[in-house]
Amino acid sequence: MTETDFAYAKINISLDIVSKMPDGYHEMLMVMQSVSLCDELTVECVSGEGVRVESGLLYLPRDERNIAAKAALEFYAYTGITGFETRISITKNIPVCAGLGGGSSDGACVLRMLNRMFKTGLSRETLEELGAQVGADVPFCVAGGTSLAKGRGGHLTDLAQIPQCHIVICKPPFALSTPELFGRIRCDKIRSRPDTKGIVKALGRGDLDGSARRMYNVFEDVLPRGERDITDIKLAMIDHGALGAVMTGSGPTVFGIFDNSTHAQNTYNYLKLNYQDCFFAMPTEKIDT
């Protein structure tokens, strides 16, 4: 059995940290959106055992350390299916360590594909629960679309789809440590927060501008380095006509939302002169799992 599918990147329209929970994890409040930037995955199941991952990036793990492999193992453990070797081939287009959920989306894509290939009929909710065992962003990436995420990211509420728009995505040439950023957060000292309630209401009435101008990511206040690049990219997007621009996830990638395709294209062209990892994307709707 062989199947090919796409794993869509995610952006954080808002990212807020509400509190630190008793288990040591942080309680998040986020509006998340899937976008057309995607990896391409092919899953082949043959007689045998084990899970193997291949990609064009030699530094990515090929065993259960890879989220795609972890997702496959979680699926088999839950369903009790045995006797198959699973080969996962990933064509990476989503930058790694970028705050775009590339690995999480790959894992979610594997769950969807195996569910179809073995005709197990697992519901979206069950796939999201399995995804939560693999990574915090995997539950959202199972279906994507537009959602409000709470807790560690696995408590999802469907929201009105963001109005059609153009999204420019730009990653500066460095990575940020997610654990380090969380370690710098002091929930009672966060200076600026996104207007998450306002974003949800704006989405409900189809107000793209109202959503975009309320965006924020609290991690931007605790950046250990690279703040200049992130600020420069945001300002360039705003100067070229973005309705709003913000860092996604734990960064360092920045995205801007545009209601004008010419402004978006001009922004992309400008940023591409200095940043290799620039992409032009559109929001995607929820996937029927």
- With H, G, I as helix, E, B as strand and everything else as coil, classify residue 130: helix
Smallest Cα–Cα separation from 145: which of 34, 15, 11? Answer: 34
Q: Which pLDDT score, from 0 to 100, does residue 187 have?
A: 87
CA atoms of 264 and 167, how far apart (whole Å): 7
- Locate CATH 3.30.230.10 in the chain: 2-158
CATH of domain 2-158: 3.30.230.10
> Pairing relation of β-strands 2-20 and 216-217?
parallel
Q: What is the pLDDT along the chain (289 residues), one digit of tens a residue?
A: 999 999 999 999 999 998 888 877 888 999 999 999 999 999 999 999 999 999 988 788 888 899 999 999 999 999 999 999 999 999 999 999 999 999 999 999 999 999 999 999 999 999 999 999 999 999 999 999 999 999 888 899 999 999 999 999 999 999 999 999 998 988 888 888 999 999 999 999 999 999 999 999 999 999 987 788 999 999 999 999 999 999 999 999 999 999 999 999 999 999 999 999 999 999 999 998 7
Contact residues for 110 (Cβ-Cβ < 8 A; gap 6+): 41, 43, 68, 71, 72, 75, 88
- With H, G, I as helix, E, B as strand and everything else as coil, classify residue 166: strand
Q: Which pLDDT score, from 0 to 100, does residue 88 have?
A: 97
- Locate CATH 3.30.70.890 in the chain: 166-281
Q: Which pLDDT score, from 0 to 100, does residue 89 have?
A: 97
Q: Which pLDDT score, from 0 to 100, does residue 21 have?
A: 80
CATH of domain 166-281: 3.30.70.890
CA atoms of 177 and 284, how far apart (whole Å): 28
- Residues with catalytic roles: 10, 137
Whole-structure pTM value: 0.94
